[in-house]
Structure 1
Amino acid sequence: MGTDAVRATGSSRGRWIVGLIILALVVLVIVHIIRNREAPHRGEPATVVGASAAQLGDMPVDIDGLLGTVTPVATVTVLPQLSGYLTEVAYHEGEEVKKGQLLAQIDPRQYEISKREAEATLAKDQAALASAKNDLSRYRALHGKHSIAEQTYTDQLYTVQQDEAAVKSDQAAIDQYTLDLEYCRITAPVAGRVGLRLVDPGNYVTASSTTGIVVITTTQATTVEFPVPQNSMPAVLQRFRAGHTLTVSAYDSDNDKKLADGTLYSLGNQMDTSTGTVTLRASFPNRDDSLYPDEFVNIVLHVDTMQHAVLIPTAAVQNGAPGDFVYLVNSNQTVSVHPVKLGPSDGTHTVVLSGLAVGQQVVTDGVDRLADGTHIRLKQARPATSTSAAAASASATKS
């Protein structure tokens, strides 16, 4: 009996040990399976990114970063054309004057007296001419009858010619004094804005004066000269020579506020070898005088507009070893490096010339955390808007 009891007890313990070993193995298998399932999620969490779909739109082709100088159509220093004392200065500093408007008056009395003297001399010489013509008429009749010498008739003929020349000279002198009286009224040769006062009533001015009476600068309209790099000239030349109107926008020195819009109307005829640029000139109506003579302005030259171009947000564009590329969103919620060929950009959107189709999504936010094949989770997708709307928004911001 004792031996059988011992054997039964040993068999029971063995079964318990085997059971515990099997249970431990089952627990280990379950833990291993759970760990293997959760490992990918703990080792490679999905990166949250923003994305946008490539869409069709219009993109303006602009040349910006150009420094221009406001160059008036005319800057005129008004000089006196004769000498005398000023009796009146009729302009006010800084005012707009019209062509022909009185600016200053020179004392005309000296020239009026000289004109009357010339008129008196003319009357005297006209009387002498009339007398000489009467004598010539009589001499001609006598000469026909051979009653006077040939020399007498010839001398009288010359006397008439001399008196006629004297009358013409007197008339020229009168015309000169008449012109001098007009010159006594100094008027504006062009319309524009007058500068600071240079003379006062009572000043004696001369025809040899270099200071002048006043300086007039045309402000409406005005022009702006600006250099364009030689690499950009072929596109400008092609559009300009084809008769297209190229618009030009002028911004302030901080490039924040648009001052005026104009049109390109003239191209320089030679290249500046020191800078590799060609000087262009644009015309601006400048009705509000927003462009000041000799002011420096920032210029944007609008050359063309690309119609129905593939557009993506500029934030999606990356540059690296493959060149220009984007992170393309794949159907399996991963991204891949996708090389693209880029076109013009307005800062907000960029044209993709090749490498991307309309509707494909590219990552725009969170690209710094991505690599080829990264698992992602998208934020709410934002479709790319047309560049025309973006350009209008940018223009409103600058204005």
Structure 2
Amino acid sequence: MNPQEVKATPPSANPPASPTPSHKSAQRSRWVGSLVALVLVGLVGGAAWYLIQRSTSDPSQGSGRGPGGGRPMVTVGEATVRKAELPVIIDALGTVIPATTVTLRPQVSGMLAQVLFTEGQMVKKGQLLAQIDPRPFEQALMQAQGTRQRDEAQLENARLTLERYRTLLSQDSIARQDVDTQAALVKQLEGTAMTDKAQEGTARLNLGYTRLTAPATGRIGLRTVDAGNYVTSGDAAGIATITQVAPIDVQFAVPQDRVGDILAAQADSAALAVTALDRTRKAELDKGRFSTLDNLVDTTTGTVKAKARFENAAGALFPNQFVNVQLLLRNVPAVVVPVTAVRTGANGDYVYVISEDRKVSLRKVKRGQATVGLMAITEGLKEGERVVTEGGDRLQDGMAVQVPGAQGAQGARGPRAGASGPRSGASGPRGGGASGEGGQRRQRPAQNP
């Protein structure tokens, strides 16, 4: 045979070689890894089964089940239906306005000599606040007085002459024309004297205007003119502004549909109570009385302006301040529930009523007047019944519920009953874990060749 043909023989013609030790070790490692993975999967499944059984047996660990382990129980808030005096209130947004606002303006022109007030000071009616230089007005008054005295002296002389003329006329010693002329001169001088008195009064009045006094009681604002400046009677800004803050008014608007209710309430009670609240509606600023309604409806807003007066003894109300107003019309007795208990569905308003066995039933109701927290029920509920206030979105008719008081009572007993669960359940993992490790120990010898 040719040697070249022997070398070309394929290797597959050679007999199979025996497995080497390294190949056996690789097969054993893969087999052990598969067995460990199966054991781990079993342990995870056992732990999951234990947690599911524990949450089912212990209500405190799950969402809660109803009696017999049926439909899950929902924890809800409850309230008792009761009777109360429900106030009928009109809420509105109002503006505090002073009862009196006066701008202190000079009535005569002159040099402002003194400013006798402090900005923001409380002043009383008639109190001297500023002084204009009075000397020019004193001179004008003296001039008017001199003119009056001169004209009065001429009038007195003319009267004496008239008396003499009348005596001579009775004696037929003077012409009647002279007497009539003298009588006309007396009347002319009387008119002149009257004019002089008026001019003297004007000068005296102008002299009094140099003293600027408070026309009303209130708080004076910031001054616009300092002492030493020349002021005029035509100055629109004035010297300062005085606002009366005690008492003070609040002006607000009410819907035109409530005008009839207000008029009826005024007929029943002479004084309607009004409360002023701050912006957050939490703090009460003052209590007052309703004053009056305006005489027409604002067609742009459909409201009517109203006004209430407050004593404002504490000074909590400030001019031009925005406040929330509550006008109390009357108090009506009613069966009331919290506002959160009443719900609205496709068939109208309804509530969930809690029975003695802690099951809820849907009941239709009719609502009445309402406040911020309470609502009157005119039909559908009786005093003493319990209704759901929170958690009603998850309820269905006939569902069992938990209330906070009953849940707390169960929680007080829960640790003693549930404490045995972890102890008995703890033996399961230990037992299962021991058996699992034993199973591995029993199988490990079989893995070795």
TM over 0.5: yes
Q: 2:129 aligns with which of 96, 100, 103?
A: 103
Query: 248-257 or 320-329, which moves further after superposition?
Result: 248-257
Equivalence map 1:1-399=2 (5 Å): 41-64=68-91, 66-307=92-333, 309-331=334-356, 333-380=358-405
Q: CA deviation at 1:378?
A: 4.6
Distance 1:118 1:48, change over 3 A: closer
* Counterpart AA for 1:190: A
Matched residues in 2 for 1:200 and 1:133: separation? 54
Deviation digits for residues 294-339 of structure 1, max 9, x if unmatched? Answer: 11112222221113x1122223211112211111223554322111
Conserved 8 A contact 2:294-2:305: yes
Matched residues in 1 for 2:313 and 2:236: separation? 31
* Counterpart AA for 2:396: A
Matched residues in 2 for 1:324 and 1:130: separation? 98
Aligned length: 342
Q: CA deviation at 1:282?
A: 0.8
SS at 1:209 equivalent: coil
Q: CA deviation at 1:167?
A: 1.5
Q: CA deviation at 1:149?
A: 0.8
Q: CA deviation at 1:45?
A: 4.3
Matched residues in 2 for 1:227 and 1:280: separation? 6
Provide the identity percentage.
41
Distance 1:196 1:143, change over 3 A: same
Distance 1:59 1:159, change over 3 A: same
Conserved 8 A contact 2:66-2:73: no
2:28 alignment partner in structure 1: none
Distance 1:281 1:320, change over 3 A: same
Matched residues in 1 for 2:202 and 2:385: separation? 83
Deviation digits for residues 60-90 of structure 1, max 9, x if unmatched? Answer: 11122x2111111222112111111111111
CA-based RMSD: 2.0
Distance 1:243 1:375, change over 3 A: closer
Deviation digits for residues 210-251 of structure 1, max 9, x if unmatched? Answer: 221211111111111111122333222210233442222222
Conserved 8 A contact 1:50-1:380: no
How high is the TM-score relative to the length of structure 1? 0.81
Distance 1:211 1:47, change over 3 A: closer
Deviation digits for residues 121-165 of structure 1, max 9, x if unmatched? Answer: 222222211111111111111111221111100001011111211
Distance 1:228 1:119, change over 3 A: same
> More helix per residue: 1 or 2?
2
> Which runs of 5 or more structure 2 residues have no equivalent in the other structure?
1-64, 407-449
Conserved 8 A contact 1:136-1:156: yes
* Counterpart AA for 1:290: A
> More strand per residue: 1 or 2?
1
Look at both structures and tell me which one has the larger radius of gyration over its CA atoms.
Answer: 2
Matched residues in 2 for 1:332 and 1:214: separation? 74
* Counterpart AA for 1:361: R
